[in-house]
């Protein structure tokens, strides 16, 4: 009787052992497979700072269009919403986001703009209207640039700026910023 009971318990233990061994093998292979997939997957970082109007993401070498749009608006603010007293301060913030090969150009542009604003006692305000993508990391920002002397608006022109970015480790860096269309230049040519 005891021998039959031992045989029954032994066969039950063997079934449990085989079941747990099989389960362990399945779980181990799933873990190894997930680890393998993790090596080839780029991590997506969801960013939502307090002063943006939309969230955006970065995954490997790709960035969302909303990230490029937000950074374009941020950079146009730093470059075009300026007075003689804040252009250099905002310029220092901007220079943290400029590629090393464009640093000198942006620094000299800021210094020249500072001299011009001080000489003419101007302040500028840019109101963006549209953002168009030329390439994945190149955008055209169109809007109205208003010039003020004191509190009086002396002129306002439609302007379009092209901004080119590069991406490194999830950050966008400004490579170039150039005017591609300006009503002010057309108006000056007509007057001449």
**Given this model, what pLDDT does residue 26 score?**
96
**Given this model, what pLDDT does residue 51 score?**
57
Which CATH number is 76-191's, of 3.40.190.10, 3.20.20.30, 3.90.650.10, 3.10.450.230? Answer: 3.10.450.230
47 pLDDT band, cuts 50/70/90, is low
pTM for the full predicted model: 0.68
The 8 Å CB, 24+ separation contacts for 97-105 are 97/71, 97/171, 97/172, 97/173, 97/174, 98/173, 98/174, 98/175, 99/166, 99/173, 99/174, 99/175, 101/175, 102/174, 102/175, 102/176
Picking from 81, 123, 73, 79, the residue whose alpha carbon sits closest to that of residue 105 is 79
**Given this model, what pLDDT does residue 186 score?**
53
Residue-wise pLDDT for 61-108, tens only, equals: 778 888 888 889 989 999 999 998 999 999 999 999 999 999 999 999
Q: Mean pLDDT lowest for which of 30-34, 44-48, 51-55, 124-128? A: 44-48
Q: Is the model's pLDDT at 53 over the cut of 70? A: no
The mean pLDDT value for 28-49 works out to 78
Residue-wise pLDDT for 137-148, tens only, equals: 999 999 999 999
Q: Mean pLDDT lowest for which of 47-51, 54-58, 130-134, 135-139? A: 47-51
Query: Can you give the residue ranges of every domain in the chain?
Result: 76-191
**Given this model, what pLDDT does residue 125 score?**
94
Residue-wise pLDDT for 176-187, tens only, equals: 999 998 887 554
């Amino acid at each position: 009787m005891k021998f039959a009971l031992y045989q029954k318990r032994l066969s039950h233990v063997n079934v449990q052992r085989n079941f747990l061994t099989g389960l362990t093998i399945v779980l181990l292979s799933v873990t190894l497979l997930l680890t393998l997939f993790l090596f080839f997957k780029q991590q997506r970082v969801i960013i939502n700072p307090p002063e943006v109007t939309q969230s955006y993401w970065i995954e490997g070498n790709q960035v969302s269009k909303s990230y490029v749009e937000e950074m374009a608006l941020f950079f146009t603010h730093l470059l075009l919403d300026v007075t003689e007293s804040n252009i250099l301060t905002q310029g220092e913030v901007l220079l943290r986001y400029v590629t090393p090969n464009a640093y000198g150009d942006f620094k000299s542009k800021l210094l020249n703009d500072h001299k011009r604003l001080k000489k003419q006692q101007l302040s500028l305000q840019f109101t963006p209207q549209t953002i168009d993508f030329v390439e994945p990391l190149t955008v055209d920002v169109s809007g109205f640039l208003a010039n003020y002397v004191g509190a009086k608006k002396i002129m306002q022109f439609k302007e379009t700026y092209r901004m080119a970015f590069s991406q490194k480790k999830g950050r966008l860096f400004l490579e170039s910023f150039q005017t591609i269309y300006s009503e002010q230049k057309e108006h000056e040519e007509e007057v001449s």
